[in-house]
A and B are shown apart, each in its own frame.
Chain A
Amino acid sequence: MGKILDSRFGKKIIFLLLTFVIVQILISTNIINDYLQATLATICINIILAVSLNLITGFTGQFSLGHAGFMAIGAYVAAIMTIKIPTFTSFILGTFLGAIAAAIVGFLVGLPTLRLRGDYLAIATLGMAEIIRVIFLNLEVTNGAAGLSGIPRFVNWPWLFVFTTGIVLLINNFLKSSHGRACIAIREDEIAAEAMGINTTKYKVLAFVIGAFSAGIAGALYASYFYFIKPNLFGFLKSIDILVIVVLGGLGSISGSILAAILLALVSTYFQSFPEIRMVLYGLILIIIMIFRPQGLLGSKEISLSTFNKLGKFFVFERGRK
């Protein structure tokens, strides 16, 4: 934290508070109605998922196709907790337990599979997510394929805001630290990084664990906000959804992931009645971006307050933006 200048830190806080208060006012005056609030929740959850996957894939260079699996763990743990004991304390506890469970699974799976590289790792993580899904499909406590319904809703805008900014700041600060630099070094050249004395396995697993933890939290928020979860919501396509956000925003750009999450949520709302077109569009986005701009829209650039200061503006975007 000491690395961040006081004044910039202060501006950050003011900006975040402003975002929060403005949205809160819009909600209480019902300009953002229930329907828009659901979109808002989707955006927040997708931001957490995308930023955490970006940590694994964009910054550390480990291609994971199993992010939905970690999300599922968080969602199920939190859902079961709040159904059993529908109190707010139990929701918060469930969310963290879910995230920790996801992190533990991330660790257990990560340790052996992270020896694999590139596409092998992708397939292994995909397989892992499928196994998690099949297990939830067959457990008694998860109510199998029918899923859990009637999950009490404890998540509202203030909590979405707290969790989203919390996770984004956490990952952002992690990347700013020496650990983060180590992760980026691994992405750039694993062998060189190892030669420089970086314990590559440790950092790869660390990125994996933090990513899984965050995805777990996103899952818990999802379960609590949408009342209902089932194993098929966390299939291969969900992992792809998240990947599309990361790729579009830029492999290695936190603000890119945030912008892409917002953009794609809006696109998805437009294509409400044409889900095939939405998926065709996703396919095209992946191909076109990879061919013409493999690093994603923003690449590894970040949009921050100072970017705008240079342009002579003093508000609008922020790296830690919601």
Chain B
Amino acid sequence: MKQLLQQIINGISLGSIYALIALGYTMVYGIIKLINFAHGDVYMIGAYVGYFCMTKLKLGFLPSLFVAMIICTVLGVAIEKIAYKPLRNTTRIAALITAIGVSLLLEYGTMFFVTANVRTYPPMTGILTRTFQIGDVIISMQQILILIITVILMILLQFIVKKTKIGKAMRAVSLDRDAAELMGINVDTTISFTFAIGSALAGAAGILVGMYYNSINPLMGILPGLKAFVAAVLGGIGIIPGAMIGGYLIGIIEVFVSGYGYSLYRDAVVFAILILILIIKPAGLLGRNTGEKV
């Protein structure tokens, strides 16, 4: 029982990261129907920005988080303007190939500048090193921090999407771009804004991972990126609460698969879930089974 609880805590920490990345995927897919392959790499860039803020600029955790989110926002918008916007009216395959290209460019461009070697975050100090023991279950301050930051960002996101004018515009564009345009919504700005928010969340996830595992490398974004995408599909792509639920589910499933001795099949299980979902219920857990996705 206590082992089960401990595993769930492990799963939630991991799942928070997936959820944060999955949100970006799901919003971008919802609005321009593009699997933004480079999203995982924006997360990687976030981790590196955090690393340089903490080691070179000697900033604290929260300022670094802030800087990482801002730089990722700029990067996300730039990617959208340079690579995706010219392709908005071509085939989806063309856009997807471009996304793969951007992803390669970010990964190996980063590798070119900072080398392929693993970088390590500086050791955390003060309150961040504390751990709490409740019964036999151990929770570290870092795990709590990850959860708190994730929840705050998600609430913020829900607020933006549901209560603000730009959020309304985002929902309108994702429902019907042409109609939204006719209603006087500036589609370009809205799409850029979506990229901005998604990238900021990915940047936050990057620095949280850097702090939690303290090991980062230029290719670190590939696998979490793909898994976050699986999470987004699992929850129902284009649906924000779905991405959160999907993220936490994937995190917990992964932890249980490795906790019960099958750690080597962990990735295979995640991809098998993806294929099953795509075949059985392509709209995802929260999605309605209509033809609107195709």
Question: Do A's and B's CB atoms come within 8 Å in the complex?
Answer: yes
A residues touching B (Cβ–Cβ < 8 Å)? 57, 61, 63, 112-113, 115-120, 122-124, 126-128, 130-131, 134-135, 137-138, 236, 240, 243, 247, 276-277, 279-280, 282-287, 290-291, 294
Query: For the complex, what is the distance from the CA of A290 to the CA of B264, rounded to whole Å?
Result: 37
* Chain B window 226-270, contacts with chain A (Cβ cutoff 8 Å), 1 for yes, 0 for no: 100110010000000000000000000000000000001101100
Interface of B is mostly: helix
From A57, A61, A117, A124, B275 is in contact (CB under 8 Å) with A124
Q: List 29 A-B contacts (CB under 8 A).
A: A112-B279, A116-B278, A119-B35, A119-B93, A119-B96, A120-B278, A123-B35, A123-B233, A124-B274, A127-B274, A128-B275, A131-B268, A131-B275, A137-B264, A243-B100, A276-B109, A277-B108, A277-B112, A279-B107, A279-B111, A280-B104, A280-B109, A284-B101, A286-B98, A290-B94, A290-B97, A291-B83, A291-B98, A294-B91
Flag if B97 contacts A286 (CB, 8 Å).
Answer: yes
B4 within 8 A of A: no
Known A63-B96, A113-B278, A276-B109; further 10 A-B contacts with Cβ < 8 A? A116-B279, A127-B230, A130-B271, A137-B264, A240-B104, A284-B101, A287-B98, A290-B94, A290-B97, A294-B87
Query: For the complex, what is the distance from the CA of A20 to the CA of B204, rounded to whole Å?
Result: 57
Chain B: interface residue total (CB-CB under 8 A): 45
B residues touching A (Cβ–Cβ < 8 Å)? 33-35, 83, 86-87, 90-98, 100-109, 111-112, 116, 222, 226, 229-230, 233, 264-265, 267-268, 271-272, 274-275, 278-279, 282, 294
Knowing A127-B271, A131-B271, A290-B87, say if A118 contacts B108 (CB, 8 Å): no
Contacts of B282 in A (CB 8 A): 116, 120
Smallest CB gap from A117: residue in B: B294
Knowing A127-B271, A283-B108, say if A134 contacts B98 (CB, 8 Å): no
Query: For the complex, what is the distance from the CA of A282 to the CA of B87, rounded to whole Å?
Result: 18
Query: For the complex, what is the distance from the CA of A242 to the CA of B237, rounded to whole Å?
Result: 28
From A116, A118, A134, B265 is in contact (CB under 8 Å) with A134
Query: For the complex, what is the distance from the CA of A247 to the CA of B278, rounded to whole Å?
Result: 26
Flag if B92 contacts A280 (CB, 8 Å).
Answer: no
Flag if B279 contacts A115 (CB, 8 Å).
Answer: yes
Flag if B97 contacts A247 (CB, 8 Å).
Answer: yes
From B93, B105, B267, A118 is in contact (CB under 8 Å) with B93
Query: For the complex, what is the distance from the CA of A61 to the CA of B93, rounded to whole Å?
Result: 9
Contacts of A117 in B (CB 8 A): 294
Flag if B104 contacts A134 (CB, 8 Å).
Answer: no
From A137, A243, A279, A291, B108 is in contact (CB under 8 Å) with A279
Flag if A276 contacts B105 (CB, 8 Å).
Answer: no
Most buried by A among B34, B92, B103, B278: B278
Flag if B105 contacts A240 (CB, 8 Å).
Answer: no
Contacts of B271 in A (CB 8 A): 126-128, 130-131
Smallest CB gap from B98: residue in A: A290
Query: For the complex, what is the distance from the CA of A268 to the CA of B33, rounded to whole Å?
Result: 34
From B86, B87, B108, B264, A276 is in contact (CB under 8 Å) with B108
Query: For the complex, what is the distance from the CA of A218 to the CA of B94, rounded to whole Å?
Result: 26
Flag if B97 contacts A276 (CB, 8 Å).
Answer: no
Minimal beta-carbon separation of B218 from chain A (angstroms) = 9
